[in-house]
A and B are shown apart, each in its own frame.
Chain A
């Protein structure tokens, strides 16, 4: 079964760092682009970062550029999101999602999400 499962969500203080992980299974991971998408409480979806199938090309939403780093390990079938200098506004459910199967631009598989809370 094709699946993505996120982990690493926790409560952090502003300014701290943490890394989220997303484990993929049931498909040829290295063939697809991956992204992180977040959703604040009661808010809409916000794309955060994306990485191509090779891991060489990355893109970031402007508010996280320079603070977050997306990476992947194709051998282990994981994608990561390293978050530094975390802000209160980064609190959200973070989803990882696959792109490039049905369409290069569409996310056809999503994980259930992992929650980041930010409070001092």
Chain B
């Protein structure tokens, strides 16, 4: 079973808001990062340290965290946002990196 728990899929209409959760015991004490992966491509970092965005990532992508759960929010969704989204933490205590099981975002 996944140490970081994500919903397997999320469906959203164009222009609406998609929210993806990531839960687990490791969330509270570690920073959370989010990646998008399109089929056949490498993952791309879209949010780091819970809520920061790399340059070039639109403000439509935002991250937040409360006790035990991190959330990625995508506003104004369009077809180009389809893909698999993964949360990830670096557990400083063990030095291990952990990924969630991934969430497939479909724009209907």
**Residue ranges of A at the interface with B (Cβ–Cβ < 8 Å):** 35, 37, 44-47, 50, 57, 59, 61, 95, 99, 102-108, 110-113
Which residues from B are CB-within-8-Å of A61? 96
Q: Digitize B31-68: 1 where CB-to-A-CB distance is under 8 Å, 0 elsewhere.
A: 10101010001111100110010100000000000000
**Could you tell me if A105 and B45 are in contact, using CB atoms closer than 8 angstroms?**
no
**Could you tell me if B102 and A45 are in contact, using CB atoms closer than 8 angstroms?**
yes
Question: What band does the interface of chain B fall in when counting residues whose beta carbon is under 8 Å from A?
Answer: 20 to 34
Which of B48, B86, B95 makes the CB contact (< 8 A) with A108? B48
Bound complex: CA A44 to CA B6 (Å): 11
Bound complex: CA A108 to CA B44 (Å): 7
**Could you tell me if A111 and B54 are in contact, using CB atoms closer than 8 angstroms?**
no
Which of B30, B43, B96 makes the CB contact (< 8 A) with A45? B43
**Could you tell me if B42 and A105 are in contact, using CB atoms closer than 8 angstroms?**
no
**Could you tell me if A44 and B33 are in contact, using CB atoms closer than 8 angstroms?**
no
State whether the Cβ of B101 lies closer than 8 Å to any Cβ in chain A. yes
Bound complex: CA A46 to CA B97 (Å): 9
Bound complex: CA A79 to CA B84 (Å): 27
Which residues from B are CB-within-8-Å of A106? 31, 33, 45, 48-49, 88, 90
Chain A min CB distance to B32 (Å): 9
Bound complex: CA A37 to CA B102 (Å): 14
Q: Digitize B91-102: 1 where CB-to-A-CB distance is under 8 Å, 0 elsewhere.
A: 010111111111
Which residues from A are CB-within-8-Å of B49? 102-103, 105-106
Closest to A6 in B: B42
Which residues from A are CB-within-8-Å of B70? none
